[in-house]
Structure 1
Amino acid sequence: METINPNKFHPKRVAWMFSLVILIIIVLSFASSFWVVIGAGETGVKSLFGKVMDEELSSGFHLKNPLVRITKMNIRTSEYTMSIAQGEGKRYSADAITALTKEGLSVDLDITVLYHLLEEKASDVYRDLGLDYEESIIRPQIRSIIREVTANYNVKDIYSDKRQEVASDIEGKLKERMDPRGIALEEVLLRHVELPANLADSIQQKLQAEQESERYDFVLEKEQKEAERKRIEAEGQRDAQKIINESLTDRYLEY
């Protein structure tokens, strides 16, 4: 008589267990379509049969229609860098912006733009620009506005004392164009200005000469003020002596 081994799986039992696991997976998958969790720093954009709905889901747990698709979008501060150095910017290759100054001279600019997606306009951004809005709107606007602003400044100003003013002008114009599209600009950092070597040396020499001239003017002004102080002091002493001499009468001298 054949002995039945209780540890041996029967084919029907294996098939039944496999079917049960598949059923559990299907049930869980179907159940999960009724809810969604939006993480911190994200917003959820709802779409139904390809039509984007004008309602965003904030971070947290949400119940939803199982037919509605939720696309998560980042609303944290992000950066877009275009750099001379390879591998430093958004693109791996050297990606600095070449622009012409007021004199028609060519300069390369390193720039970083800090921005974030406006949560209340995320559905508009997704509908109009998609998820790749950095390449479709941010990058082209940065390049266009930098060239527009740079053309209003002399190369020496961009390279030295007016660099922050240039960055502020770029920031203002970018805000005007990006805010209506649902992208909030936070800051523009003009990190580096690259000039042709001979031009950079010439500007450095000119700046040094201007600093020497300013130092000389300061010393000269200081000496002039000191001379004026001594003149006033001498006049005061002379006037005081004159008053004393006039007040001395013969009687006072006899006394």
Structure 2
Amino acid sequence: MDKLPKIALPVIFAFIVLVILISKSAVTIGSGEAGVLYKTFGGGVVTEEPPLGEGFHIVAPWNKVFVYEVRQQEVYETMKVLSSNGLDIQLEASTWFQPKYDELGKLHKEKSEMYKERILLPAIRSAARSVVGRYTPEQLYSSKRDAIQAEIYEETKKIVDGQYIQLNEILVRDVTLPTSIKEAIERKLKQEQESLEYEFRLVTAEKEAEKVRIEAQGKADANRILSASLNDKILQDKGIDATLELSKSPNAKVVVVGSGESGLPIILGNN
């Protein structure tokens, strides 16, 4: 019985040390995350092996694990840029991105956990300045929004593709012009719209007038052809045909007694 405390103390001490070692060695990677292993005595950041996936892991207590979010993320940026004629433009854009999973170790070793601030955001700003500088305020305000968005995405992608970052999309949410420029553009657009409406009315009226002229010309041509084809013989034949049809009517008694000066029959006795 006297020896029990002497045995228990080392056991208890060993148990405590084991618990400390396990707590120091246990790493849990959450959902949508991955871990980069740093080996203190084994060459530093592990880049040639896949990162640690979701779940529970045991690592040597003298090593470290750096946890990264690897699902799609969004960063919102407001930038001051210049148009092609040197006017200040405020551009608001959202960027969807995520680190490249298989190259997470290289990202950590070369760019660190600050890769968004050191790589992604500077790339977006540079691309936005380059793209917006090609356009006038009128183009930025109206027709070129989609083109600007696509060009900023392409230029940013060229920069970050070699930096272990996967760029999914860039969305231009708003383009803000100086108030005086915006009002001038709106007046110009309104005048252009009114001019287009006026031209449309003129074209419509001209088409309607042309239609009336064509119809009138058609009628005139028909009458001219008809008049040219009529002669006394044709008129006389038509008159005879009409008289014969009239004589067949049960409500009329027709007597033909020779012909008139025009050569047409004379009708007498109509009851």
TM class by shorter chain equals 0.7 to 0.9
Structure-2 change in CA distance of 1:78 and 1:60 (3 Å): closer
- The 1-side partners of 2:226 and 2:15 are apart by 115
- The 2-side partners of 1:143 and 1:114 are apart by 15
SS at match of 1:53: coil
CA deviation digits over 1:102-138, x for unaligned, max 9?
1122222222222122212222211110011111011
Unaligned runs of 5+ in 2: 242-271
Q: 2:142 aligns with which of 150, 160, 175?
A: 160
Unaligned runs of 5+ in 1: 1-11, 84-96
Q: What's the counterpart of residue 44 of structure 1? A: 35
1:76 partnered with 2:61: no
Deviation, structure 1 residue 246: 7.0
Structure-2 change in CA distance of 1:98 and 1:242 (3 Å): same
Q: What's the counterpart of residue 48 of structure 2? A: 54
1:110 partnered with 2:68: no
Which deviates further from its counterpart, 169-178 or 32-41?
A: 32-41
Aligned sequence identity (%): 30
CA deviation digits over 1:165-210, x for unaligned, max 9?
1111111111111122121222222222222222222122112112
1:253 partnered with 2:238: yes
Deviation, structure 1 residue 157: 0.8
Q: What's the counterpart of residue 200 of structure 1? A: 182
Q: What's the counterpart of residue 216 of structure 1? A: 198
1:139 partnered with 2:121: yes
TM-score (norm 2): 0.70
TM-score (norm 1): 0.74
The answer to whether the Cα contact below 8 Å between 1:141 and 1:174 also exists between their aligned partners in 2 is yes
Q: CA RMSD in A?
A: 3.2
Count of residue correspondences: 227
- The 2-side partners of 1:253 and 1:155 are apart by 78
Structure-2 change in CA distance of 1:248 and 1:183 (3 Å): farther
- The 2-side partners of 1:218 and 1:29 are apart by 84
Letter in 1 for 2:70: I
- The 2-side partners of 1:44 and 1:207 are apart by 54
1:184 partnered with 2:166: yes
The answer to whether the Cα contact below 8 Å between 1:45 and 1:123 also exists between their aligned partners in 2 is yes
- The 2-side partners of 1:111 and 1:143 are apart by 10
